[in-house]
Amino acid sequence: ANPPTQAPTVAATEPGTLNEFYPIRNQGSGFCTNEPPSTYGLNDIYEQSYPTNAECCKAYFSHQSDGFCYSKMGSPPTQAPTDAPTEAGSLTVWYPDYSKSWDMGVCINDAPLPSYATHYNYPTQKECCDNAYSGQSSGRCAAGYLG
């Protein structure tokens, strides 16, 4: 008979086998994973890891204009929040629009909420811009709430 195996002490919140997410840097785009390093030809995790995929993406790939790292996360939400919006748009939260280049980026509150925005959304447009586009030389995001 085979000896019993140990179960993990903390369950991962998304698919994979590790309880931490770490970056995989590809040419041009990167993403975070909780799969064993050997899956990607690595012997170990050489960079800081995070408890969630979203935290890892924010730490390592927030500069991606196409939001590739966030797009690799679990399935997007199926319904928008039901609360009435407080400002223009249809959601009560604001999130960065990663369909634009970083310098042209703005924060929006349009439905449906993309999967990456389930972890990175803010109660006001200003808070979103201050967090997602801090240091943006064009000032495009700030111009959206300064009017």
**Residue 62 to residues 16, 47, 90, 105, 120, Cα–Cα distance (Å):** 22, 16, 24, 12, 11
Asked if the model's pLDDT at residue 93 lies above 50, the reply is yes
Q: What pLDDT score was predicted for residue 10?
A: 41
Kindly give, in sequence order, each residue whose CB lies less than 8 Å from that of residue 133, ignoring residues fewer than 6 positions away. Answer: 96, 102, 105, 106, 107, 140, 141, 142
Q: What pLDDT score was predicted for residue 106?
A: 92
Residue-by-residue DSSP string for 37-94? GGGGT-SS--S--BSSHHHHHHHHHTT-TT-HHHHTSSPPPSS---SPPSSSSS-SSB
Using an 8 Å Cβ cutoff, are 48 and 92 in contact?
no
Average pLDDT of 125-130? 89
Q: What pLDDT score was predicted for residue 80?
A: 40
Picking from 74, 78, 26, the residue whose alpha carbon sits closest to that of residue 54 is: 74
Distance of alpha carbon 61 from alpha carbon 81, whole angstroms: 27
- Residue 30's DSSP bridge partners are 25
**Higher-pLDDT residue of 79, 33:** 33
- Residue 11: band (very low, low, confident or very high) from pLDDT cuts 50, 70, 90: very low
Q: What pLDDT score was predicted for residue 81?
A: 43
Asked if the model's pLDDT at residue 137 lies above 80, the reply is yes
Phi and psi at residue 27, in whole multiples of 5°? -65, 115
Asked if the model's pLDDT at residue 27 lies above 70, the reply is no
Q: What pLDDT score was predicted for residue 77?
A: 30
Distance of alpha carbon 82 from alpha carbon 7, whole angstroms: 39
Q: How many CB atoms lie within 10 A of CB 27?
A: 5
* pLDDT 10s digits, 30-48: 888 888 888 888 888 878 8
**Higher-pLDDT residue of 29, 86:** 29
- Residue 74: band (very low, low, confident or very high) from pLDDT cuts 50, 70, 90: low
**Higher-pLDDT residue of 100, 27:** 100
Q: What pLDDT score was predicted for residue 78?
A: 30
